[in-house]
Amino acid sequence: MKKFNGYMRGINLGGWLSQCSEYSEKHYSEFITENDIRTIAGWGLDHIRLPIDYNVIEDEDGIPQESGYGHIDSCVEWCEKCGLNLILDVHRTKGFSFDNKPEDNVMFDSAELQDRFISLWKNIAARYGKYSFVSFELLNEIVERDNSRWNSLASRAITEIRKFAPETKIIVGGIQWNSVHTLALLKLPENDNIVYNFHFYEPFLFTHQLASWQPLLADRAIRYSENIESYRKVSKEICCFGSGLYNTDRMGVEFMEKLISEAVEAAENANVPLYCGEYGVIDMADISDTALWFEDIHSVFEKYGIGRAAWTYKSMNFGISGEHYSPFLNRIIQCL
């Protein structure tokens, strides 16, 4: 399988220009600074994935906002100085949110909003397509159940981006929240600069335990080392989050590899590199279990040559630089 060279070990900057605690200039200026980029480079990583919400860089009418783009410009400058590559990820666009709230997911039913998505990418590509160390990720975690509309819109966006950035790597994930099971459904223009993307938070019962935004898990804690039968039991009780639990009778590397092999096969068949744009463990989990989980997923990534970016650098219940992770920080960094 092809490798996504320069993007093998990275981290997300979630919560800065996307999913913000507050959308304000004060937040943008203080949440991430050049010193954070230096820290990440000092960890020995090779790239950053930067999630961006549309409302940071354009107004409600779709007019580009220089103040928002200025923060991306700063990140580009800092990454160049620190020798890091950078992925610009459109995390939310007008009429689409991966949170799957019906009122926020109307883009695929609206030609006008699809045109606006294309226009957003034309502006981004025109501005950053000249940088050899910058790659583009079309859209985060498509929630569609039918791949046809995403294939059509993604292909159209790629065609328009290529007018401004003919050599830029373009990263595309499958439907159903970048599932490993849906990459094989992608049908995109043939090009040497396409990368397939998936996200990996399995077993979800472990990585999102006690998450306040997941009502079914808000009062459930589980150890990573639990027998897989324990996972199956909980999954049956809540009728959810059972992906991969019957692929193997062992939790750990074998469980992860069975799931990820489906994404590997899709990338090999398409002759493109494979990238995991998000993976991580909530700070409610036992920290020693978290370190072991990172070691296991690292071994699978290394075996198949999969590029990746951990979720996430700071805050948001997954912030690796936070106090919760500090007892095992060096061990976890080695496994990013």
160 is catalytic: no
**What are the start-end ranges of the H helices in the chain?**
25-31, 34-42, 54-57, 66-82, 111-128, 147-161, 175-178, 204-207, 228-238, 253-270, 287-304, 329-333
| Active-site hit among 60, 77, 137, 141 | 141
For 8-25, the DSSP string reads SSEEE-TTTBSS-SS-SH
Q: Which two tokens stand for residue 145?
A: 């159940």
Residues 6+ apart with CB under 8 A from 97: 104, 105
Q: Is 257 helix (H, G, I), strand (E, B) or coil?
A: helix
Q: Which two tokens stand for residue 194?
A: 């396409």
How far is Cα 167 from Cα 164, in angstroms, rounded to an integer? 9
For 80-146, the DSSP string reads HHHT-EEEEEEEEBTTB-TT--GGG--GGG-HHHHHHHHHHHHHHHHHHTT-TTEEEE--S----SS
Bridge partners of residue 90, in order along the sequence:
52
Residues designated as active site: 141
